[in-house]
Structure formats: structure tokens, C-alpha cells
Amino acid sequence: MKHFTKKTICILLSVLFLFSTCCVTAWADEEETPSASTTQSESATKDNEKAKKDAEKSLSDQKKELNEKLKESEKKLAEFKDNAKTTEAYIDALDEKIGIVDKELKVLNAEVKAARAKVEELNKQIEPLEKQLKVLQKAYDEAQKEFDKLNDDFTITYNAYCLRLRAMYISGTDSVLAALLTSKDISQFLARYEMIKAVAKSDTELLKDVNAKMEKIITKQGGLNERKAVLSSAQAKLNKKRDECKKEQDKVEKDQELIAQKKVILSEDRAESDRLFAVFTQNAAMYTEFRNEDEEVIKKVNAEIDALLSGLKSPDEITTAVTKDHSGEISDMEDQTQSLYSGSDAVLNLTYPVPGHYAVSQHFGHYRNGRAHTGIDYPAPTGSRVVASQKGIVIKVRRLNYSYGYYVMIYHGTDAKGRKIVTLYAHNSAILVSVGQSVIKGQQIAKSGSTGNSTGPHCHFEVIIDGAKRNPATFVSR
């Protein structure tokens, strides 16, 4: 019996050693897997990652370049003395700085837009990750409870088995043998033998129960460890996304603060530029437009003009149809086709819009601040004659207190390439024609003035070919 006891103890110790050192590879229960939508989202994000990084780098490079240009511009401005600030050179340098700051604002706004889009995208990724984490946490907690219960059951069984081993060790083999040998008769012997055999069988079953529960604990522990690893991975992934999101949000806030600062600088510099420019043009009597008009105002006016131009018909198309712009300004043009050129380059032989005033205060092109000047400015005293540069039909008359001020547009027909030719005359003090009226070359259509965005009396003259503004100097002659 002592031999049996030692063998049993050895088996138990071996199982305990196995429990303390084994590595489990199986789950006890079915594991939750990331949703298909999450996987697809991650794949799409990965596909777009390179393009977004390239865009971010481009914006970053632009910021660095503009920052260097701004430093150079500010250094240039600092070299001017106070009495030189009303010179064209200083104003040009200031406008150059304005153009740089304006570009910086555009880059910053683009960065903010990109960062906000990234925050929105990250939030979309974070939401399913949070849901997934809750599911994993719940599964882990349930698995932990099952493990704890299994462990408690094992402890009870193990303690019972330990007590039985102790009793067996204390009683030894002699007590079993004595019980059999002291039997009074064969019946008692057989009864005691069956009892001893039953106890031995019970001990064997108890050992099997200990081993079975131990194996379950080992398996469950492995599953629990795997759940914990998945949970930790999901938490780390979520934390990473949250950190990225916060980084982008901080970037938005930082850029917005910088945008606010740049806007103040831009507003102050534009006001200073306009003030100095007004003095300069007045001293030289070379009036033109202020260079820093609100961009939204410019877009609004241009959109109105573009809408009109897009509806123009060629002379051949004008028969009995009534052609109107979106405001209903153009009345019946039937029987007026004789006032228009049709497929002739003679339409581009234009006369100067203000007879006797040929000096140019502002040429066609771009200002130092980067903005376009889409015509030529001819300074002329208020009330000077403004004439049609070619025969045609008046298609638009507007009286604004901003932008072009009081302006007239005339449609002249088409050139040899079939392109539609239109001229525009702005900043007038009075308009002498109406929409739909036919005019001849050199006929007075307005009086020069300084309405709208203007530093003083002048005529802003534009030539528009198929909707595109071209340099009038190419076409005018005395």
C-alpha cells in the first residue's frame, strides 16, 4: 500500500508541475473578431495614406517657403525710411508682403481643412474600436468569472484529495492488512475487502477528478491569456487613434490661432497700403483701383458677369429670339445684328475709351500682392467722355458702390475665329446708355468718375474674348 501511495503522490506532483509550466494554445470559448466594416475602413485608410502624407508635406514645404519670403519682405520694408513710405517702391514692397501673408492664410486654411477631415475620419475609426473594446472587455470579464469558479471547484477537490492522501499515509499498509487478517470469518473478510476496494476505487476517481479539473484550468487559463492579449491590443490601438485625433485637434487650434493673427496683420497692412496708395495716386494724378478689395466681393461681381457672358449668342444665332441674361436685362435684340460684327477680325480694331487720355496708371497683369488687374486704367478728370471702343450692343449697365462702380458692357460680335468680343468700362460718374441700345464706334456712353473701388477719377477698360479677359493694349489704337 505504501508503494501505491508513493506512486499516487508522484503522479500528483507531476501534474502540478505540468500545470505550472505548460503553454496553452487553445481558446476555451469562441472569440469575438473585428467587424468586416472595421477591416475595410482600415484598408481604405491605408490606401489613401500616401496621398495624404504627400499633401501634408506639400503644405508644410509651402509654409516654410512662404515663411522665408515673409522674412525677406519684412527686412526689405524695414530698410525704407519714414519719408519714403509714400513712394511706389515702398507700396509695392508692402503689397508683396500682403501677397505672401495672403498665401500663408490659404495654406493655413488648407491645413485646417485637412486636419479637420482627418479628425472626422479618426472619430469614425474610433467609434467602432470603442464598441469592439466593450465587447472584448465583456468577454474577458465573463471568462475570468468562469476561470475563478473553475479554480474554486478545483481547490475544493484538491484539498479533499490531499486529506485522503494524508490519511492513507498515516494509516499505512499495515492497517489495511490488519483489517483483513483480523476478520472473524470469510464473510467479514470479503466484506472488508470490498470496502477497501471501494475506498481505493474512490481514491482513483478522486485523482481522475483532480487531473480533469486541472486540465480544464490549464486550458481556461490559456484562453484567458489570449483574451487578455487581444483586449490589450485593442486598447493600444484605440489609444493610438485617440492620440492621433488629439494631435490633429491641437494642430487645428494652433493653426486657427495663427490664422487669427495673420488676418489682423493682413487687415492692417491692407489698410496701410490703401492709405499710402491713395496719397501716391493723388500726388501723381494717376488714379486707379485700390489693390486690396475683398475677394468675396470680386468673386460675386465676376460670377454675375460670367453668367451674362455664358448666355451670349453669336450674331448668326440671333434671329427672332429674345436673348436675356439671368437678371432679364437684355431686351429684344432682333433687327440689331447690323450693329454686330460676324466672323470679322475688324471687331478687334478698338479705339481708346477716353479720347485724349492715353496715359496708363495701371497696366494689365498682376499686382505685387498677387492679385490680377484684368484691364487697363486711364486716368481722366471726372466728367470726361467715355466712348464705345467699337460698334455693338449694350448688354449690361450696373450702378454699384463697390468693385466696378458704375459700369457698362458692350457686345461687339465675333472675330474670324468665331470668338465673342465684349468690352467693359468701369468707375463712371454717369451712364448715358441703356441695355439693348445699339452704339457706334466712338459714341459717348458714359462720363468718367471714381465710383466703386477707386482711388480717383479714371476709366477701367477691359477686353473680354470668349469669357477670358485679355490685355487691351493689344487691340487699342488712336
pLDDT attached to residue 170:
64
Structure confidence by residue, pLDDT tens digits, 27-75: 334 444 556 666 666 666 676 678 878 888 888 888 888 889 888 888 8
User: Which residues does residue 475 pair with via DSSP β-bridges, in sequence order?
Assistant: none
Say what percent of the chain tops pLDDT 90.
36
Task: Scan for cell 469614425, then name that residue.
Answer: 124
The ranges assigned to domains in the chain are 2-270, 297-477
> What number of H helices and E strands is found in the chain?
5, 14
With beta carbons less than 8 A apart as the criterion, state whether 122 and 248 touch.
Answer: yes
Biggest alpha carbon distance in the chain? 153
Q: How far is CA 379 from CA 286, 357, 386, 449, in A?
A: 6, 7, 11, 9
With beta carbons less than 8 A apart as the criterion, state whether 228 and 140 touch.
Answer: yes
Structure confidence by residue, pLDDT tens digits, 90-109: 888 998 999 999 999 999 99
Task: Scan for cell 459700369, then name that residue.
Answer: 407
Higher pLDDT, 442 or 204: 442
Neighbours of 264 (CB within 10 A): 10
- Give the mean model confidence (pLDDT) for residues 402-409: 97
pTM of the model: 0.62
Higher pLDDT, 387 or 367: 387
Question: Mapping DSSP to helix (H, G, I), strand (E, B) and coil, where does residue 379 land?
Answer: strand
With beta carbons less than 8 A apart as the criterion, state whether 282 and 455 touch.
Answer: yes
What angle do the packed helices 88-181 and 2-21 form, to 10 degrees?
170
Query: Which top CATH class is 297-477?
Result: mainly beta
460 phi and psi, to 5 degrees? -95, 120
pLDDT attached to residue 79:
85
pLDDT attached to residue 369:
82
**Is the pLDDT reported for residue 174 higher than 60?**
no
AA letter at 135: V
Grid coordinates given for 115: 486636419
> What is the secondary structure of 272-309 as a DSSP string?
HHHHHHHHHHHHHT-----S---HHHHHHHHHHHHHHH
pLDDT attached to residue 460:
98
Radius of gyration of the chain (CA): 46
Distance between CA atoms of residues 429 and 170, nearest Å = 125
User: Which residues does residue 430 pair with via DSSP β-bridges, in sequence order?
Assistant: 447
Minimal CA–CA distance to 280: which of 450, 90, 76? 90
pLDDT band, very low/low/confident/very high, at 228 (cuts 50, 70, 90): confident
User: Residue 429: exposed, middle, or buried by beta-carbon count in 10 A (0-12, 13-18, 19+)?
Assistant: middle
pLDDT band, very low/low/confident/very high, at 164 (cuts 50, 70, 90): low
Structure confidence by residue, pLDDT tens digits, 429-462: 999 999 999 999 999 999 999 999 999 999 999 9
pLDDT attached to residue 112:
92
With beta carbons less than 8 A apart as the criterion, state whether 396 and 324 touch.
Answer: no
Structure confidence by residue, pLDDT tens digits, 184-198: 556 655 665 566 556
pLDDT attached to residue 156:
74
Distance between CA atoms of residues 251 and 65, nearest Å = 20
Minimal CA–CA distance to 442: which of 377, 349, 361? 349
Minimal CA–CA distance to 474: which of 370, 356, 366, 345? 345
Higher pLDDT, 380 or 15: 380
Average pLDDT over the chain reads 80
CA atoms within 13 A on the CB side of 92: 7
Structure confidence by residue, pLDDT tens digits, 265-280: 989 998 988 888 888 8
**Is the pLDDT reported for residue 131 higher than 60?**
yes
User: Residue 3: exposed, middle, or buried by beta-carbon count in 10 A (0-12, 13-18, 19+)?
Assistant: exposed
Under 8 Å CB-to-CB from 308, ≥6 apart: which residues?
325, 326, 329, 395, 396, 409
With beta carbons less than 8 A apart as the criterion, state whether 337 and 326 touch.
Answer: no
Distance between CA atoms of residues 280 and 351, nearest Å = 29
Grid coordinates given for 70: 515673409
Which run of H or E residues covers position 363?
none
